[in-house]
């Protein structure tokens, strides 16, 4: 596979990952706030949408991680040290998130790994923010140099805010559905645009051995 082919494929992966993230968000919105089937708020469609979420969220993370690898392949030489470090952190964070999600899917026990997963997601998208800060400075992208920051900032802020709230109050932050949906929507749309840019940036050049 040539470098251009990999970059083009990773661009499509980023686009599909963003679309999958948006679909998973729609499924999450459709799930009722009920904690059990005996709750009055429980809906008959909850099991279906919960299953959809369990499939789509890990799929989205996997595809977006491939997209981050493509960003690194295309822009590692044009980016500064901060940008390269950010993309490496983004890929590593995505890999760890995928592994944790796979373990959660197998064990069906989220309590022990919930916090590590939150940290992995924060590292994944925080790395994209670092890359975005670098692109704003050196204009590495042909357009939309603000997109990496826009796509990456939501999840780290959400995780940091939740952890700070828990440390202060002793309770996990119950985020308003409208706010969390807006964060997912902005993230997904910005990733979609970033994937379009990456897909069009493929230049024929063999990958090093």
Q: What is the pLDDT of residues 97-150, one digit of tens each?
A: 999 988 887 887 667 788 888 899 999 999 999 999 999 998 989 899 999 999
What are the CA-CA distances from residue 5 to residues 54, 199, 205 (Å)? 30, 9, 9
Torsion from C-alpha of 75, 80, 83, 87, nearest 10 degrees: 50
Other Cβ atoms closer than 10 A to 20: 21
Three-class SS of residue 177?
helix
Give just the sign of the alpha carbon dihedral 89, 186, 147, 64: positive
pTM of the full structure: 0.87
Question: Which residue numbers in the chain have pLDDT < 70?
Answer: 1, 35-36, 38, 40, 109-110, 202-209
- Kindly report the average pLDDT of the chain as a whole number: 87
CA 111 to CA 113: how far, in whole Å?
6
Map tokens 């950010």 to a residue: 86
Tokens of 146: 């603000």
């Amino acid at each position: 596979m040539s470098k251009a082919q990999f970059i083009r494929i990773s661009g499509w992966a980023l686009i599909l990952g963003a679309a999958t993230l948006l679909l998973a968000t729609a499924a999450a919105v459709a799930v009722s706030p009920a904690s059990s089937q005996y709750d009055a708020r429980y809906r008959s469609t909850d099991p279906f949408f919960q299953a959809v979420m369990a499939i789509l969220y890990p799929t989205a993370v996997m595809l977006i991680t491939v997209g981050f690898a493509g960003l690194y392949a295309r822009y590692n030489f044009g980016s500064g040290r901060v940008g390269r470090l950010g993309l490496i952190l983004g890929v590593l964070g995505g890999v760890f998130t995928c592994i944790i999600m796979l373990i959660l899917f197998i064990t069906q026990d989220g309590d022990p790994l919930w916090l590590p997963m939150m940290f992995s997601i924060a590292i994944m998208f925080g790395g994209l923010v670092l890359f975005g800060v670098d692109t704003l400075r050196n204009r590495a992208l042909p357009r939309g140099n603000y997109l990496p920051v826009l796509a990456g900032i939501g999840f780290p802020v959400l995780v940091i805010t939740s952890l700070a709230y828990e440390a202060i109050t002793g309770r996990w932050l119950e985020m308003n559905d409208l706010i969390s949906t807006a964060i997912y929507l902005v993230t997904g749309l910005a990733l979609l645009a970033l994937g379009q840019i990456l897909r069009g940036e493929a230049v024929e050049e063999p990958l090093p051995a």
